Chain A
Amino acid sequence: MGGLEKKKYERGSATNYITRNKARKKLQLSLADFRRLCILKGVYPHEPKHKKKVNKGSTAARTFYLLKDIKFLLHEPIINKFRDYKVFVRKLRKAYGKSEWNTVERLKDNKPSYKLDHIVKERYPTFIDALRDLDDVLSMCFLFATFPRTGKCHVQTIQLCRRLTVEFLNYVIASRCLRKVFLSIKGIYYQAEVMGQLITWITPYAFAHDHPTDVDYRVMATFTEFYTTLLGFVNFRLYQSLNLHYPPKIEGQAEVELKPKEGEAYALNSESYMEKLSALSASLARVVAPNLEDEVEIDEFPVDGESAEHEEARRKEQESLEKQKKLFEGLRFFLNREVPREPLAFIIRCFGGEVSWDKSVCIGATYDVTDPTITHQIVDRPNLEKQVISRYYLQPQWVFDSVNAKMCLPVADYFPGVLLPPHLSPFVTEKDGDYIPPEKLKLLALQRGENPESAFSGNTASLPFTEEEEEEEEEEEGGEEDDDGSEEEDDSEKEEEEKLKRMEEQKTQGKKLPVKVTVGTVRLEDKQRRVQEEQNEEKRLAIMMMKKKEKYLYQKIMFGKKRKVREANKLAEKRKAHDATLKLEKKKTKKARRE
């Protein structure tokens, strides 16, 4: 055999990957700088398909980067900035050591800084790409915006995060693109549809964080550095798309008005504007005044058959969406002080409602508690001393549930002090075979308009009594719905048959008549069952003949399916048990009351 000797690991996948340490050495960066660079540039390790080949025969655990990625990093101008910064730090330390304060000042003035614009553009060549990745960006910025202004990270970062998130919220309000909200135990999830992209983010509940010690804030700060840049650009573009001023301006109020009056010194001028924006109560000024009449109507094209159906469905969806956007239009809300103001104000304004709060809670309140036009007051305390007849007093969950249901839900379940109905996640879409909680079924029925008896315009005074009865009825309904399994029906039928048989036997014992009818029916059923069984057996036999590999796969799939069913059954069972205990308790209390 002629030719050159082929050496191992000099071609193929081994040459496409590079370990982290080697990459670091190639870039001549410290680990911390390398990490920063990777975070900013969005470079991540790749898992090679054949790890042993890439690892040159060793099986040691290593992280691999694509060589192309690293080569791409080599040309990054930011690396030079990192090096400059290192030099800067060295010089500064030296100057401090020598107490050369002039030098220190000069150095600080010339502190090397870098911009991430080009990286944003590079990572997200199109705006839609950026929107697609906005989930983490928003969650992180919302988290940082809640950090205390001391320690942990730079105050500027926190302020920037706060500003950007408020801007984004204002955009969502202006474009009315919020779709779903969810109160979870972790925080509040929001989902908005921005230019066709679903963006989901989570905000923590407004409490002080107890900062964990096992978290590297430098990593998070680096991420935030990039995220704030990205979010700023995205905000700019979004505002532009709606013809809004950026940075945002509040509509209708001149600058002079915005300035606080002499007596009520609230904050610094620069801050108060930000505060007013973050109050989320005022709408934003537009560059061009919007034309209200100027709604785009979709042209109707002549279509045929299937696409017509599609079109129909799309139109319906569009309509429902429009309806959802105007969900709270015309309603005036008032938030009590114990209610989380920002999320509720945001949600209500997103769906066209008007909202206000006590003046002492936050800046930007537009009307008072005593305003007679208030239709809904959001309250989160068990009882109220004085109530105004003309408005509903509701718990905050009503707002969230109504948004998710895309309709104003009956208010009876949400009165203060009442045991709230479960709050369901709007992000779950049940496929057939999955467990659907009865509340969801009820909700679906309500959405279809099947339950017109709901006491939407019910009288508050008479409700406590009617409510219980309703609940009971509903529960009974739910129970019936629950046990509609085919097997159980079969069983009951069988039992009936057996009863009949027995009765007939008792009758015929004396007369000794031949049995006819019952036998016939039994056979009929047997036929069906036999066919079923035959098919089952056929399948079982066919499964026996499967190849080993396919059998394994098949069994895996079936195991997954069965597990799903099992879990669904478990949930259903739990629910049943829970309902049963509830009913028992209710009966007991009723009896006790009667006695």
Chain B
Amino acid sequence: MRTFSSGLPLPSAAAAEEQDWESDDVTDSEESVYSGLEDSGSDSSTEEEEEDANDQCVEKKVKDASHSEKMRAGATSQKKEQLHHKKRSSKPLLVSSEPQQLPTENEYAEDSSDEEDIRNTVGNIPMEWYQDFPHVGYDLEGKRIYKPIRSLDELDKFLDKMENPDYWRTVRDKMTGADVKLTDEQVELVQRLQRGQFGDVRFNPYEPAVDFFSHEVMIHPVTNRPADKRSFIPSLIEKEKVSKMVHAIKMGWIQPRKPKEDVPSFYDLWAQEDPNSVLGRHKMHVPAPKLRLPGHEESYNPPPEYLLSEEERLAWEQQEPAERKLNFVPQRFGCLRAVPAYTRFIHERFERCLDLYLCPRQRKMRVNVDPEDLIPKLPKPRDLQPFPTTQALVYRGHGSLVRCLSVSPSGQWLVSGSDDGTVRFWEVCTARCMKTLPVGGAVKSVAWNPNPAVCLVAVCAEQAVLLVNPCLGDKLLYGATDQLLDAYVPPEEERLQPVQWVAATAEEHARGVRLVVQHGKAVKQVTWHGKGDYFASVLPDNGHMQVLIHQASKRWSQSPFRKSKGQVQCVLFHPTRPFFLVATQRFVRVYNLLKQELTKKLTANCKWVSSLAIHPRGDNVICGSYDSKLTWFDMDLSTKPYKVLRHHRKALRAVAFHKHYPLFASGSDDGTVIVCHGMVYNDLLQNPLLVPVKVLKGHALTQDLGVLDVAFHPTQPWLFSAGADATVRLYT
């Protein structure tokens, strides 16, 4: 059977079977008895059941069944297949186990219960039980049927295979152990079965269907079987069932199905509505916002300006769907019949549904502020006059950016230093350049001596600080200054100084230079003490020698600090008290020069301090930084800034206080100077009032630099600014 199902051609299968006789025998017989049902499919299984049933009930059939079983046991696997097939097709089987009676048998040959397989009487037993015996069973007389003598060795088998033309159609009968040569009909039957065809040649599987149970009433009954007896005797079982039901109904256990209630599906639900009842559950209910109503752009025929231009459409397509302002492309149709269905209609409804049940809701307070209310109410700038408002004069002459400027204490003269290596002296009122002093290097800082009795300017030129007598103004005055400088008597014992004081050469002297303080390193800034004798210089260095304090009259210098506290940006003398302010990158330290100690450390709250200015009263300090912040410190109040002003858009370069008026100014890289009103009250409880009053523009931006230095006129509300466009400007 297994070989058949695997689809091998018959001859080889038969040969194979013959070759391993012993083992195959075992398995085959096993299958035939125990697992034959499974193998032969559903048909045979039902047949088997039938047989079982028959065994139990009808005695007459026993023989028949046993016969068929015997048949199966006796037959080879092929035969078994035939048998099944015969049953299935309910046609007479052509092939029986006995080759002699095979083809000519009529259909009752098999069915006859009297005829049994008379050759072997062992019955339907596994044939391997006789494996070890010389015989395979017993014949009718009870004599042993001996197995045919098999002395064939491999060679004989081979020869047999080669010589016997019928070798391929020879199979062994397990019952008798004899070789059986299959007839042509049998071979054909096997081949047909292998091809999956019906065993019977005459059987037509495609016969026209006869609609047997049709609507037409036939004159003949379908079956002629007389009615059963039970059909006209009342059933006891049914009676029992019915009586049970009757009892159950009586007892009320079984009830009829309730009729479907016929309530109108819609009625006046709000007949008694309670307007005070809160929405079912709680007060946190957030009603879903309604959908936005469509605008003109959604019209099928919108005004032309609402249609997207080509670029807008491209931009729309490239945007993420969530980012788009419109979720559709405005389109124009000439008439209503041309308007197509909107493809995303269902999508949009669905999204709305999702929003309704899936989207977290939150009550949001919308800020409804009039922006005008946010603007602080400040005193009007007009009420805070005077302050510089317009550009009055432009001092032209420098060849490169003007880095620094300073005004003489009298307010008549102005000095400016530039990157072109010159220092120029100007008359303030006329913008006339009175004097040009080449110093041979970029001028980083200039400072006019604040003492009105002295006419002296300190100039930073490369590695030296020059003390210059500009010889301007009152002759007596500058003469006196010269005398003052000449009155220097060198001390008896040479003191070790960090710098060298050198008197100017004759040529320099003629130009106005009086003293040269050689620092050995580039000097960044110079600033005078209010009395006009001391001045301080800053060197961009890392050591402790960053700040030096010099005394002009004694030509004496000292380094006040023993330790470096970071890179010093600028220094400043306190106008009234013996304080000295040193600005490093982030902090401004206030030292008491008399006590030689640190009194305060102001935190500037910025990244990099650029400039420093102190209120003439001495209590307030402003500090400009490169991160475009201006910080105002009230030194009595705190070491933190009282206010941080972010007026400029770019880095601050310079800040300045006016000496008399409550004004301060800041110059920045964005080319503007902002003048602020900074009123400091005598009453300590009242905070300073800071009001920006004017934005002064005028300097052109060059190399990303705008205003580099600012200074107020000492007496007038005027402001000077030095810019990167090589000009100095005066605003009045």
Contact = CB atoms under 8 A, between A and B. Distances in A.
Interface stretch (A90-98, A280-288, A423-431, A467-475): A423-431
A205 B342 contact: yes
Contacts of A220: 349-350, 353
Contact of B693 (A381, A439, A541): A541
Interface in A165-223: 182-187, 189, 200, 204-205, 207-212, 214-216, 219-220, 223
Given A135-B290, A183-B336, A204 B273 contact: no
B229 interface: no
A308 interface: no
A420 B334 contact: yes
Contacts of A209: 341, 345-346
A355 to B, nearest CB: 16
A347 B343 CA distance: 25
Contacts of B345: 143, 186-187, 204, 209
B201 interface: no
Contact of B274 (A125, A419, A539): A125
Contact of B298 (A39, A186, A561, A574): A186
Interface stretch (A62-70, A262-270, A315-323, A384-392): A62-70
Interface stretch (B50-58, B278-286, B478-486): B278-286
Contact of A427 (B295, B331, B375, B380): B295
Interface string A338-351: 11100000000000
Contacts of A46: 284, 286, 360-362
B335 to A, nearest CB: 6
B376 A542 contact: yes
Interface residues of B, number: 87
A149 interface: no
Contact of A233 (B269, B288, B304, B354): B269
A575 interface: yes
Nearest to B329: A185
A217 B270 CA distance: 31
Nearest to A184: B298
Interface in B370-386: 371, 374-378, 380-382
Contacts of A124: 270
Interface stretch (A235-243, A361-369, A449-457, A499-507): A235-243
Interface string B545-567: 00000000000000000000000
Given A184-B294, A185-B331, A207 B341 contact: yes
Interface stretch (B73-81, B100-108, B260-268, B499-507): B260-268
Contacts of A485: none
Contact of B275 (A125, A130, A143, A340): A125
B358 A423 contact: no
A493 interface: no
A575 B303 contact: yes
B340 interface: yes
B378 A395 contact: no
B391 interface: no
B692 A205 contact: no
Interface in B501-524: none
B369 interface: yes
Nearest to A236: B266
Contacts of A275: none
A544 B361 CA distance: 38
Given A47-B360, A69-B281, A553 B274 contact: no
B109 to A, nearest CB: 43
A211 B336 CA distance: 24
Contact of A246 (B266, B380, B645): B266
Interface string A550-584: 10011001100100000000011011001000000
A200 B293 contact: yes
A185 B284 contact: no
Given A236-B266, A541-B693, A136 B299 contact: no
Given A143-B349, A209-B341, A420-B334, A72 B371 contact: no
A435 B305 CA distance: 11
A554 B360 CA distance: 29
Contact of B375 (A189, A232, A233, A543): A543
Contacts of B301: 183, 397, 420, 422-423
A125 B273 contact: yes
B551 to A, nearest CB: 43
B691 A211 contact: no
Interface stretch (A21-29, A115-123, A248-256, A458-466): A115-123
Interface in B329-367: 330-331, 333-337, 339-350, 352-354, 356-362, 367
Contacts of A550: 374
Contact of A205 (B286, B294, B341, B352): B341
A205 B113 CA distance: 83
A545 B306 CA distance: 41
B202 interface: no
A545 B691 contact: yes
Contacts of B343: 210
Interface string B229-248: 00000000000000000000
A338 B275 contact: no
Nearest to A65: B360
Interface of A: 35, 38-39, 43-47, 49, 63-64, 66, 68-69, 72, 109, 117, 120-127, 129-130, 132-133, 135-136, 139-140, 143, 182-187, 189, 200, 204-205, 207-212, 214-216, 219-220, 223, 232-233, 235-237, 240, 246, 338-340, 380-381, 395-397, 419-420, 422-425, 427-428, 437-439, 534, 537-546, 548, 550, 553-554, 557-558, 561, 571-572, 574-575, 578
26 contacts: A47-B362, A64-B360, A121-B269, A125-B274, A125-B278, A126-B274, A127-B273, A140-B349, A183-B339, A185-B331, A209-B346, A212-B347, A215-B350, A220-B353, A223-B357, A236-B266, A236-B267, A246-B266, A395-B335, A420-B334, A539-B375, A542-B378, A546-B375, A548-B646, A553-B367, A554-B374
